[in-house]
Structure 1
Amino acid sequence: MGSWAALPTGKVVRLESAGPLPAALDSLPREAPAILTCTAPDAPSPKALVAAILDELDATVLGLFPAWLPEAEGIDGPGGAGPAAVRTLALRTAATTAHFGPFLAELAERALRARPAPFPAPFMSLSPGPGCSSEVAPSRFPPEVRAAGLTRALAAARRRAGASLLIEVPDGLSARGQEILVAAGEWLAHRAGLSVWLAGPLPAVDRLETVRAPDHHGRPSPLGRSARPQVPGRPQVPGRPPATGRPHPASAAERALESALSGCGWAAGRAWNQTIRPSALASPVRVDLVWQEDRCVVEVDGPEHRGPDAFADDRARDVRLQIAGYAVLRFTDAQVLTDPQAVVRHIELFLRNRRVSQDRVS
């Protein structure tokens, strides 16, 4: 198989690869579909697995807003006429595209309401309170409509002709689990037009076509941290990935922030470069800094996060973490290196307020 765009579409296939599979859009050619990756749990039924996959797809698409509705750029929050405006824009878009208008309108309003209010400059912040998952209202549409509508929105957000679900099959998945996985994939392919690629052992299922994955370069992930490209002024350390529990050795900003936090008693419980799995299906997310007990994540962003694709990936990733109950605070390298104490004060204020709120809830 010479190209990702040449893989079978609209059906379920078993994907065979000699190396790690790609999990990001920016590593694939433009003619390839938009890809969402997840892992396969041992679900009790195809219906339950479809529901879980649709929830993951829903969270991803909410996070990519307004990439799939570009005219809504600049509508920052659900206040005032925002919800009515995005619904109107969605219906207008659906009138000239394959989108189903009522579903796209609801999706746009839900995405807008999931957005936090803009935080005063210079800090970027996504900071839901405790129990934020309840603030993202579920869709009122049936699974068939959701599946097709979310697939179209994912493809539109990435300016692709279609979308694919790349599911990593874990070793040891039971025979029944394999049958459930394939049946759920067949439902999604038939109802939503998704290309479903199953990567991993499926010895209990013999009805699938097996195709060879094309060659590719790199393994960034839309649900995790994209691989950082070489950026002028930001030294790279070959062969030295982020060390769990410590700042990244190549990041002066992470080291500066840790130095500023090290004398603060309220900052106890922090952990650098940890892996979080927001849900049973989602691929693991590597975060810069986390207070796990407070469910607060801090990201330190270099210049590689400024591009539109990187921003969209970060946004989808943050929403997934928010839905799982995490707050996400983002600072740039420049903010940390220029005024680390201001960043520390912001984190302290946020954590103290969050702890008070959690105490009240408990």
Structure 2
Amino acid sequence: MPSWAELPIGQVVRLDADPDAVALALDPLPDDAPAVVTYFAAEERSVADLAASVLRELDKAAIALFPAWLPGAEGVEGASGVNVAAVQALALRRASVTGHFGPFLAELARRALTGGPSALAPEVRAAGLVRVLADSFGRARLAVLVRVPDGLGAASREVLVAGCEWLAHRGRAGVWLAGPPLHDDRVRTIATPLPTNPLPAAAVGAREAVPLPATADRAPAVAYPPVAGRPHPGSASERALEAALSARAWAGGRAWNQTYRPGPLDVPIRVDLLWERERCVVEIDGPDHRAPAKFAADRQRDVLLQLDGYAVLRFPDAQVMTDMDTVVRQIGQFLRNRRRAEG
């Protein structure tokens, strides 16, 4: 079985594993893996439409992850002329020493502050976005894990494969298909380096638990990992909780999206929010956490953390967004109790 580092870049392959098992194995991102973003494919009429969809979603991810890919731009906010000039200068300086395409990086930095579409060619954007997203997670390479929807017809499968080949070749990204087979001779199936115990037994085979976006009424989307130390930019609930906690003196010492390994042979665990000294973990659960595979994996993670002395406080993201006062009060009460117990 290959390692994650051995999976091909610059071509399209199909993974021989359940998509949910792959997703759980990639959270947190293994040390030997490229950066991985997940594209939830929808039915497209043409290769051009698919390429436009993928680029649009990768672009949204890159903008959301700013300034993780532009060192020195931390704290630069707002679309003033001074700020725009500053991030463009940083982008051109970074391009000069890293090999990024300067005009692309400078335009992306500007749009991170001002918004608006890109004026560059799709081929330029594909190559640039792949490098930027890899940089955001401190990796040299990027793979796009494509979640293939069920029920694609022959024409739609052809569009999907051809569009994925375009992204792999133009962007120099790995494109890993997961889901139902496409019955296409151009796409070979390869072994997937899953850990020996990625899921509890009850979760294995629960592929239907994580719904894919419906092709008729939902646009394609890209999911991507968080950057350690920050709320996930794609999570409104994480960002809202951080805003609420930042005003509380007792909330000091918190760290977002940290990786924790219970033992040297255990699979690492990524936690949403951590107070290390108080051994307190806070998890914010979206609707996907109610699915059998994710639910079972969460319970396994909680047990491992509790055996190591951590308390795990779980809140639905809907509660965070609608009843923030209760969430903050309960977190604060737990932390104060722990601190008093420690003397």
Q: TM-score, normalised by structure 2?
A: 0.61
Partner residue, 1:159: 138
| Letter paired with 1:13 | V
Shift in alpha-carbon separation, 1:329–1:42, aligned structure 2, 3 A: same
SS in 2 for 1:210: strand
Change (3 A) 1:336 1:146: farther
Preserved CA contact (<8 Å) 1:162 1:194 = yes
- Residue identity over aligned pairs, in percent, reads 46
Partner residue, 1:105: 106
**What's the counterpart of residue 86 of structure 1?**
87
Q: 2:24 and 2:116 mapped to 1: Cα distance?
A: 28
Distance 1:55 1:165 in 2: 14
* AA partner of residue 135 (structure 2): A
Partner of 1:282: 221
Query: 3-state DSSP class of the match of 2:97?
Result: coil
Greater shift, 95-104 or 71-80, is seen at 71-80
Cα distance in 1 for residues equivalent to 2:17 and 2:155? 24
Question: Which residue pairs with 1:194 in the alignment?
Answer: 173
Provide the residue aligned with 1:42 in structure 2: 43
Alpha-carbon distance, 1:57 to partner: 0.3
Q: Which residue in 2 is equivalent to 1:130?
A: none
- Aligned residue among 148, 157, 162 for 1:169: 148
Answering whether residue 306 of structure 2 is matched by residue 305 of structure 1, we say no
User: Are the structure 2 counterparts of residues 283 and 83 from structure 1 closer, same or farther at C-alpha, using a change threshold of 3 Å?
Assistant: closer
Contact 2:42 2:213 (8 Å CA) reproduced? no
TM-superposed deviation, 1:276:
9.2
AA at the equivalent of 1:193:
R
**TM-score under structure 1 normalisation?**
0.58
Looking at structure 1, the residues matched to 26 and 113 of structure 2 have their Cα atoms a distance apart, in angstroms, of 24
Tell me the CA shift for residue 301 of structure 1. Answer: 3.9
How many angstroms apart in 2 are the aligned matches of 1:40 and 1:168? 6
Shift of 1:203: 3.9
Q: Distance in 2 between matches of 1:215 and 1:151?
A: 24
Of 148, 156, 159, which aligns to 1:180? 159
Partner SS, residue 27 of structure 1: coil
Alpha-carbon deviation of 1:202?
A: 3.0
Contact 2:24 2:198 in 1 (8 A): no
CA-CA distance at 1:10 after TM superposition: 1.0
Supply the distance in 1 between the matched residues of 2:25 and 2:256 (Cα, whole angstroms): 15
The question of whether the paired residues in 1 share the 8 Å contact of 2:47 and 2:163 is answered with yes
Once residues 10 and 151 of structure 1 are traced to their aligned partners in structure 2, the CA distance between those partners, rounded to angstroms, is 11
What RMSD over aligned residues (CA atoms) do the two structures have, in Å? 3.7
| Matched positions, count | 241
Distance 1:182 1:62 in 2: 27
Cα separation, 2, equivalents of 1:280 and 1:98:
33
Deviations 1:4-40 (A, max 9, x none): 1111111000111156222686523233111110222
| Distance across 1 between alignment mates of 2:147 and 2:63 | 23
